[in-house]
């Protein structure tokens, strides 16, 4: 991942406490039984050994906190710890937890400025600068992610974790697009 100029404390504590604060509020309302948590594929794929290109990743994979800490992957660690804390809280408090783990979310944006994901992907295409050191991008459309949240909430059969990736691509796959974008 791109090195962030923020400390681990600026990511870890807000992620874990933020998730737990929401869940504590949910637990106070007896009619609420299900929580749909937005996590990230970051909480899935950063194990002791990184997955190879083309590896089949499933919901049983978890990022390794110790590996994340050693490599100073604070965003990844924050997502991993927040998801783990949410799972533990829901189990102790009798809440159903459905977790959506989207990959690199791309698509239409509502705000006037680019978010980190969109900016990183556009930067890759325009400059060749990689956001991820392995050059592997696991992409999913924001509209699909939104729909998955609705389905996870409405479908009583939904449970556990759902990884959302529509396409896996390598940074070298986009080299031919650079001239087209630079000329426009």
User: Which is nearest to 81 in space by CA: 33, 57, 106, 46?
Assistant: 46
Please tell me whether residue 30 adopts helix, strand or coil conformation: coil
CA 39 centroid distance within chain:
5
Please tell me whether residue 11 adopts helix, strand or coil conformation: helix
One-character DSSP codes across 111-142: SSS--HHHHHHHHHHHH---SSTT-EEEEEEH
Whether 79 is catalytic? yes
- Token pair for residue 129? 């600068």
Find the catalytic residue in 49, 79, 178, 180: 79
**Residues labelled as active-site residues:** 79
């Amino acid at each position: 991942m791109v090195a962030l100029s923020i400390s681990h404390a600026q990511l870890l504590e807000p992620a874990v406490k933020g998730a737990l604060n929401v869940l504590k509020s949910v637990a106070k309302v007896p009619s609420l039984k299900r929580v749909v948590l937005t996590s990230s594929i970051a909480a899935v794929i950063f194990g002791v050994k990184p997955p190879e290109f083309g590896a089949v990743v499933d919901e049983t994979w978890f990022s390794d906190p110790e590996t994340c800490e050693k490599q100073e992957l604070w965003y990844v660690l924050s997502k991993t710890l927040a998801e783990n804390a949410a799972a533990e809280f829901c189990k102790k408090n009798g809440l159903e937890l459905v977790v959506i783990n989207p990959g690199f979310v791309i698509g239409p944006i509502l705000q006037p400025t680019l978010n980190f994901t969109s900016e990183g992907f556009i930067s890759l295409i325009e400059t060749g600068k990689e956001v991820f050191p392995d050059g592997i991008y696991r992409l999913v459309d924001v509209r699909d992610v939104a729909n998955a949240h609705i389905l996870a909430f409405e479908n009583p059969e939904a449970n556990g974790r759902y990884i959302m990736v529509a396409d896996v691509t390598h940074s070298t796959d986009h080299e031919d697009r650079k001239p087209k974008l630079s000329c426009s």
